Structure 1
Amino acid sequence: MSESRAVSVERGLAPVLRARVCQAVQVLERVEAELLPAALASSFSAEDMVLLDLIRRHAPGIGIFTLDTGRLPAETYALQQQVLERYGPVVRTYFPNPAEVEGFVAHYGANGFYHGIEARRACCHARKVAPLQRALAGQRAWLTGMRRAQAVTREEVVVEGFDEHHGLVKVNPLAEWREDDVWAYLRSRRVPYNELYDQGYRSIGCAPCTRPVAPGEDARAGRWWWEASGQRECGLHRAPAGATGWLKCAAKP
């Protein structure tokens, strides 16, 4: 899609948001044209809901999957049902290997992740990292809703990089978006979102590892809040090797 067509498709949005959307659509269409098979890894976050909606509207050749850890909030499952009813069965779900979860619980306890970074990372590995590896098998690229402004651990997020650990291209179409851009898009398109955001949450993962965020805290401060801020990643995301600048839009804010 040309820049002018991308903008016309999203007519009615405010100019700054339209420019952001134009950029994201161009990224998605390039992925669809040049990097298939590719898939969005969705946790049904606000950012992932923006991308899910844009993919279904502009680049439906890109797949979508989610990781069901077995400890997600009820509100997340309610949103998954809304997505199914609005978009159809477009999201594939991957579950942890029961034996790995059983091994974690036997060694650390069901809630052992509260007692140390090693235990928490072991839980994340069993419930998220290992299923991700299965989900990415055979893909050439994976997409995420990561943004630079989300946390100190994500300040270097690039639009495109090569993920050496998984051996494929990693694309973050919303890397440059602000939190206000995300919510402006969701509201303008009436895209469903997780009800926990209305209760003070700004980043939502597993129920026992997520809490609302206090005023002035960054968006991911409610994730694994008992740990130092520089440690609050589950292991899914690693620093990319290099970046390429194929993000172009005349009305760039």
Structure 2
Amino acid sequence: MTEWPPGGSDDLIETLQDRYLPDLGHVDMPGLLLDRRLGQVALVSSFGTESAALLHYVMTIRPGLPVVFIDTGRHFPETLAYRDLLAERLRLNLVTVGPDSALLAAEDKDGDLNESDPNMCCTLRKTFPLQDALASFDTWISGRKRYQADTRAALPAIERDGAHLKINPFVFWQKDDIAAYFEAHGLPRHPLEGRGYLSIGCEPCTRPVCPGEDARAGRWAENPDKTECGIHLGPDGRFARAGRRS
């Protein structure tokens, strides 16, 4: 196994690791997802191109688990329609959250903050709402995978995300594994995938992926130094609502 990043391990993570993921040949993800030591658990989904596979997989293990979706107000209409389709088909316990309207009015009154400060735009529209939504949970489930980008190549299956534990059930899966799962379970594809969108976020900051690019190359393509939206705090992450207006 790849070593955890600094600050990325603790007694609980080590115990869970030894029990459910001692090595790549012995991965018991269903057992991990059912372990009571995870506490209160939610799955966070963007309803992107591979989300249906993770949603179906987790719901077969823990049906009724809350599924948190962050409605930033900037999603493609196709994403919202796909969310509704999957919510009905998979009978999801969907929890939709969104940004504080007063905060947006104060900080992004013209609706173009993504152009001048994309990090702050993500903070207002994604990070703040998610942290509020996760306040009553101990653990959250993410759809990140190692194959998606070089920046995720050493991603662990179990990690600390600020005060929360985070599980990445598909971390070791490859693109072909995801495709085979879709086929085996007859899952519908995101309507934008066929148009070259392999990783889908907010409409203003997402473009189709060009041949030879990694799956996340279409995210913030005009801002090469930005590779994540900011909802993943990391093992040493500290969430602070600096500058929030009441």
Is the shorter-chain TM-score for this pair beyond 0.5, marking a shared fold?
A: yes
Residue 6 of structure 2 is matched in structure 1 by none
Q: 2:228 aligns with which of 228, 233, 242?
A: 233
How big is each residue's C-alpha offset from its partner over 1:12-34, in whole Å with a ceiling of 9 and x where there is no partner?
xxxxxxxx9x94xx324422332
Q: Does structure 2 conserve the Cα–Cα contact (< 8 Å) formed by 1:45 and 1:203? A: yes
CA change 1:60–1:54 in 2 (3 A) is: same
CA drift of 1:88 comes to 2.5
User: For residue 144 of structure 2, what is the aligned residue in structure 1?
Assistant: 146
String of CA shifts for 1:93-118, please: whole Å, max 9, x gaps: 01111012112223xx4223223xxx
Q: Given the alignment, which residue of 155, 158, 171 partners 1:157?
A: 155
Preserved contact between residue 71 and residue 98 of structure 2 (Cα < 8 Å): yes
Which residue is equivalent to 1:215? 211
Alignment correspondent of 1:32: 34
Cα deviation 1:164-211 (Å, max 9, x = unaligned): x2x121110111111121121112211123111111011000011111
Return the offset for 1:148: 1.0
Distance 1:130 1:238 in 2: 12
Q: 1:196 aligns with which of 192, 195, 215?
A: 192
Q: Distance in 2 between matches of 1:72 and 1:49?
A: 17
Return the alpha-carbon distance in structure 2 between the equivalents of residues 181 and 222 of structure 1.
22
Deviation at 1:50, TM superposition (A): 1.2
> What amino acid does structure 2 have at the position aligned with 1:226?
E
Structure 1 unpaired stretches of 5+: 1-19, 242-253
| CA shift for structure 1 position 123 | 0.6
**Alpha-carbon offset, residue 55 of structure 1:** 1.8
Match of 1:64 among 24, 46, 67: 67
Instruction: Give the secondary structure class of the aligned counterpart of 1:64.
Output: strand
Check whether the contact 1:124–1:235 (CA below 8 A) recurs between aligned residues. yes
Counterparts of 2:235 and 2:153, CA distance in 1? 12
Taking only aligned residues, the RMSD between alpha carbons, in angstroms, comes to 1.9
- CA deviations over 1:102-157 (Å, ceiling 9, x no partner): 12223xx4223223xxx111110110000110111121111101011111221221
C-alpha separation in 1, matches of 2:151 and 2:134: 23
Tell me the residue number matched to 1:4. none
Closer, same or farther in 2 for the Cα pair 1:37/1:207, shift >3 Å?
A: same
SS of corresponding position for 1:55: helix
Q: Mapping of 1:29-108 within 5 angstroms?
A: 29-34=31-36, 35-60=38-63, 62-106=65-109
1:63-100 per-residue CA deviation (whole Å, 9 max, x = no partner) reads 21110001100110111121132122521101111012
Structure with greater proportional helix content: 1
Distance in 1 between residues matched to 2:63 and 2:88, nearest whole Å = 17
The 2-side partners of 1:237 and 1:131 are apart by 13
Mapped contact 2:68–2:95 kept (Cα < 8 A): yes
Describe the SS at the equivalent of 1:137. Answer: helix
Residue identity over aligned pairs, in percent, reads 37
- By how many angstroms is 1:46 displaced? 3.2
Q: Which runs of 5+ in 2 are unaligned?
A: 1-23, 237-246
Change in CA separation of 1:149 and 1:80 when aligned onto 2, cut-off 3 Å: same
Worse-superposed segment, 56-65 or 199-208: 56-65
Runs of 4+ deviating beyond 4 Å: none
Deviation at residue 47 of structure 1 after TM alignment? 3.2
Q: Distance in 2 between matches of 1:239 and 1:170?
A: 10
CA contact (8 A) 1:96 1:127 kept: yes
Query: Matches of 1:101 and 1:154 in 2, distance apart?
Result: 30
